[in-house]
Chain A
Amino acid sequence: NAGVTQTPKFRVLKTGQSMTLLCAQDMNHEYMYWYRQDPGMGLRLIHYSVGEGTTAKGEVPDGYNVSRLKKQNFLLGLESAAPSQTSVYFCASSYSRSSYEQFFGPGTRLTVL
């Protein structure tokens, strides 16, 4: 039981490049989330999904897209990376509504030059 895994762990991009972050969970959770964490800002929700094939915007969705084609996977895409997207990205999942705890992945540290 691996829990929540994220790929890659580290990445350096140049401005304008694109990339996809992969999140996978093996707990059969319905809900999945993408957060970004910047110093002094806490965790801010980018996008989330309440089930396979569904996605919704969070607090800071601009510049990101997501897809949830399979229940266990949640992909976060950056179409044209900008230095402002330098951050640590965490994926999380939960069994059901927000009354259940969220399990976090180990994070992806992204630097955009």
Chain B
Amino acid sequence: QQPVQSPQAVILREGEDAVINCSSSKALYSVHWYRQKHGEAPVFLMILLKGGEQKGHEKISASFNEKKQQSSLYLTASQLSYSGTYFCGSNSGGSNYKLTFGKGTLLTVNP
């Protein structure tokens, strides 16, 4: 079952902040975040593992609450280059090698 992402779309002005949420109905071992620009392949941003680790990538950070089975991606002081569709991918661990991706959140950053 696909994780649920919210919001579906968000429009920002350059310099504003945004939060993208990812919720799963299954227990999670890890959550992956990817960004895809129009017409391109998805690109890895970060992985969060069971244990509630908060990871950072430049001005993009994320958190993982395993009890709530949720992850959030934080984009701070957004730049034009942040525009794209963001996907979370969930994995339930064990012998499960698969990621199940959400439907994506379209982020548009305007000047």
Contacts and interface: CB of A to CB of B under 8 A. Distances in A.
The residue among A43, A44, A58, A102 with the most chain B CB atoms within 10 A of its own CB is A43
Contacts of B43: 104
25 contacts: A31-B97, A33-B98, A41-B103, A42-B87, A42-B103, A42-B104, A43-B42, A43-B101, A45-B98, A50-B97, A58-B98, A59-B100, A97-B97, A98-B96, A99-B30, A99-B49, A101-B32, A102-B34, A102-B44, A102-B89, A102-B99, A103-B44, A104-B41, A106-B41, A107-B41
Query: How big is the B interface, by class?
Result: 20 to 34
Interface of B: 2, 29-30, 32, 34, 40-44, 47, 49, 87, 89, 91, 96-104
Contacts of B34: 102
Interface residues of A, number: 25
Contact of B97 (A41, A59, A98): A98
A74 interface: no
A50 B95 CA distance: 11
A104 B42 contact: yes
A46 to B, nearest CB: 11
B98 A98 contact: yes
A42 B96 CA distance: 20
Interface string A37-54: 000111111001010000
B34 to A, nearest CB: 8
Contacts of B2: 42
B47 to A, nearest CB: 6
The residue among B47, B87, B99 with the most chain A CB atoms within 10 A of its own CB is B99
Contacts of A106: 40-41
Contacts of A101: 32, 44, 47
Nearest to A91: B41
Contacts of A100: 47
Nearest to A50: B97
Contacts of A58: 98
Nearest to B42: A104
